[in-house]
Amino acid sequence: MNANQSPVPPPLSPLTPPAVVPAPALAIGTPLLEKGRGVLSGVTFKLFVIGVLTLIMLIPIAKIWFLLSERQQRRDAAVSNITEAWGKGQEIIGPVLVVPFRYAVKVQRTETVNGKPTLVETVEHPVAQAYFLPAKLKMAARLAPQERHRGIYKAVVYSGELAISGEFQPPVFDDLGVEPERILWDDAVFCLAVTDLRGVAGALSLEWAGKTVPLIPGCRLPGFDTGVIASLRGAMSGATKPAAIPFKMDLTFNGSKLISFAPVGVETEVRLAAAWPDPSFYGAFLPTQRAVDATGFTAQWKVSYYGRGYPQQWTSLGGGPTADKIRESMFGTSLLALVDQYRTVERALKYAILFVVLAFAGFFLFETMGRARIHPVQYILVGATLCLFYLVLLALSEFIGFGAAYLTAAAASSLLIGGYAAGVLRGVGRGVLTAGALGGIYGFLYVVLQLEDYSLLIGTAGLFVLLAAIMLVTRRTNWYDRDAASAAGTPPPR
C-alpha cells in the first residue's frame, strides 16, 4: 500500500444497524402539541364551544323576530282596512259659535292717472270670523263595542250615541274691537267638528234657543275638516240680550279604537259608558269618577277652562288656538283589545336567548358532573327545539289565543327535549328531570308575562334564585382538576 494512500474503512456488515444517537427526552407537558391537546379537550374549551353555539342560536331567534314583525304588519293592515270602512277614531271638538264681521283695512294700489302711475290708497272691508266657545257644556256618550274580522285578524269598533247640551253667553265684541254695525248676525253658524260622520243615522237637527235648526255637513273651525254646521239666520236676533242661549243636539256615529273630547266650555262635563271591560283613559285630564268591571265601564270628567291653553273667544285675525293646541287639551278613552297575542309573543321572545343559555348550562352540568358526553350537534338540536317553541307559539296564538298556544308549545318543547335528553344522557330519570325543569321555567315565564307591572321584579328574583342554585351545586367543583383529567383522558373526579 502506498504511503500516500488513505486507509479505506472496512465495509459495514449488512446485519449491523447504524448507530443512532438518542434524542434528549423533553419534559412532560412542554410540547406545544400536547399542551394544545390538553386545552382543546378540557372543560374550558367545552365552555367556549357552548358559547359559540349560543351565539349561533341568535340567528333563528332573529328570523322568528322578523316573522313576528311581518305578522304584526299584516294584522295592522287588516285592522286599518276594517276601521277605514267602519269609522275612524272619533274626536269631538266643539261646539263653537262662529259669527262673521267686517273690518276696515287700508290698501295701496298703483293706478294710472293722466298717463302716469300713481299710488292710490283705498279702504276695503273684508270679512273675518269671530269664534265663541260655550259657557256650559255637557256631553253624554254611550258606546256599543263589537269585533269585526278580516281573515284571522280582528279589530275593535263601536257604534256610539252622543247627547250634547249647554249654553252660550251672548257674543260680546267689545274686547275684540269690532263695531256693532260691522257684525253679520245673519251669517252666524253653529259648528261641531267630528272626525268621521259615516255612522250618522238620519237627519240631524239642533235646538237653539227653543228653535229647531237643521244641521248640514261642514266645518268652520280652522284645522278641522269634517263636522256639522247649522245656519243661525234669524235665530240670533236676541244676541245682544244678556240672557244665555241654550242648545241641544243628538248625534249617532261609528268609530274604532278611541273617542276623545275637547274641553271647550268654561265648565265641561262628559259622561262616557261602554260595555267594554278593559278601557284605557288618556289625554290631558283623567276621569274624576270611574267604575270598571267585567261588564263594562262608566267614567265622568269635569274640566274647567283654566286647565287648557286657549281663550274663550278669538278672531281669525289672530290670537286663536291651532288645531294641535286644541288636541293637546283633549281627553278620552281607548278601547284596547283584551289580548294582543303579538305583543305578548314579542315579550316572550325577549327571553329566548336566556332559555338557550339555561338549557345549555343544564346539559353542560350533566356532562361535566354526570360523566356524560354530549356532542355539539346535540346541543344545536336542543337549541333548535327551544327556538321552535316561539314559532309554534306565534302560529297557534293566531287561532286559539295566547294562553292555550303557550301551554301547547311549552308542553311539546318540554316533552321533546326531555325524551331526547333521556337518550343522550343515558337515563330516563335524567330525561324526566330535564323535562320537569324546562316545564317549570316555561311556567315561570308565563307568570312573568301575565304580571306586566311586576314582571321585571319577579323575573330578576327568579334569575337570582336560579343562579344561586347553580352556584350551590357547583361550589365544590375543582374545574382545574377536571381540565387536567380531560386532557389526560381519564374520568373526571367526582
* pLDDT classification of 29: cutoffs 50, 70, 90: very low
On the 0-12 / 13-18 / 19+ scale of CB atoms within 10 A, 70 is exposed
**Residue 18, preceding bond cis, omega within 30 degrees?**
no
For residue 298, give the amino acid letter. T
Does position 469 have pLDDT exceeding 50, yes or no?
Answer: yes
Q: What is the mean pLDDT of residues 162-182?
A: 86
Q: Which residue has better confidence, 100 or 109? A: 100
Buried b (16+ CB within 10 A) or exposed e, 430-450: bbebbbebbbebbebbbebbe
User: What's the residue count for the chain?
Assistant: 494
Q: Which three cell numbers stand for residue 211?
A: 228653535
How far is Cα 335 from Cα 355, in angstroms, rounded to an integer? 34
Q: Which of 158-167, 177-186, 419-428, 430-439 has the highest mean pLDDT?
A: 158-167
For residue 322, give the amino acid letter. T
Output the CA–CA distances (angstroms, integers) from residue 280 to 292, 388, 449, 477, in the order listed.
Answer: 11, 34, 19, 54
pLDDT at 36: 40
Nearest to 132 by CA among 313, 392, 4, 304: 313
For residue 252, give the amino acid letter. T
On the 0-12 / 13-18 / 19+ scale of CB atoms within 10 A, 6 is exposed
pLDDT at 125: 76
* pLDDT classification of 360: cutoffs 50, 70, 90: confident
Q: What is the mean pLDDT of residues 35-49?
A: 62
Instruction: Return the H-helix or E-strand segment holding 82.
Output: helix 58-86
Q: Which residue has better confidence, 235 or 26? A: 235
Backbone conformation region of residue 282, classed left if phi is above 0, alpha if psi is from -120 to 50, else beta: beta
Q: Which residue has better confidence, 489 or 363? A: 363
Does position 33 have pLDDT exceeding 80, yes or no?
Answer: no
Per-chain mean pLDDT for the chain: 82
Does position 28 have pLDDT exceeding 60, yes or no?
Answer: no
Q: 122-126, 193-197, 379-383, 386-390: lowest mean pLDDT where?
A: 122-126
Residues forming beta bridges with residue 183, ordered by sequence position: 101
Q: What is the mean pLDDT of residues 159-168?
A: 93
Q: Which of 130-134, 365-369, 444-448 has the highest mean pLDDT?
A: 130-134
Please report where in the chains the cell 337549541 appears, as a residue. 383
Contact 132, 97 (CB under 8 A): yes
Sheet with 153-168, edge to edge strand ranges: 211-214, 205-208, 245-256, 153-168, 136-150, 267-274, 296-304, 289-293
Residues forming beta bridges with residue 227, ordered by sequence position: 193
Does position 444 have pLDDT exceeding 50, yes or no?
Answer: yes
Does position 56 have pLDDT exceeding 70, yes or no?
Answer: yes
Question: What are the extents of the domains in the chain?
Answer: 43-72+342-488, 89-337
Q: Which three cell numbers stand for residue 474?
A: 357547583
Does position 233 have pLDDT exceeding 80, yes or no?
Answer: yes
Output the CA–CA distances (angstroms, integers) from residue 106 to 113, 126, 313, in the order listed.
Answer: 20, 11, 25
Residues forming beta bridges with residue 256, ordered by sequence position: 157
Q: Which of 44-58, 275-289, 337-351 has the highest mean pLDDT?
A: 275-289
Q: What percent of the chain has pLDDT over 70?
A: 85
Q: Which three cell numbers stand for residue 5?
A: 494512500
* pLDDT classification of 239: cutoffs 50, 70, 90: low
Q: What is the mean pLDDT of residues 146-159?
A: 84
Collapsing DSSP to helix, strand or coil, 264 comes out as: coil
How far is Cα 430 from Cα 436, in angstroms, rounded to an integer? 10
pLDDT, tens digit (0-9, with 9 covering 90-100), for 362-397? 888 777 776 677 888 888 998 899 999 999 999 998
Contact 206, 230 (CB under 8 A): yes
* pLDDT classification of 34: cutoffs 50, 70, 90: very low
Contact 216, 229 (CB under 8 A): yes
Output the CA torsion sign for 262, 334, 196, 230: negative
Q: What is the mean pLDDT of residues 169-185?
A: 83
pLDDT at 364: 82
For residue 25, give the amino acid letter. A
Q: What percent of the chain has pLDDT over 90?
A: 29
pLDDT at 39: 41
pLDDT, tens digit (0-9, with 9 covering 90-100), for 325-344? 999 999 999 987 655 788 88
Does position 172 have pLDDT exceeding 90, yes or no?
Answer: no
Whole-prediction pTM value? Answer: 0.70
Q: What is the mean pLDDT of residues 41-53?
A: 79
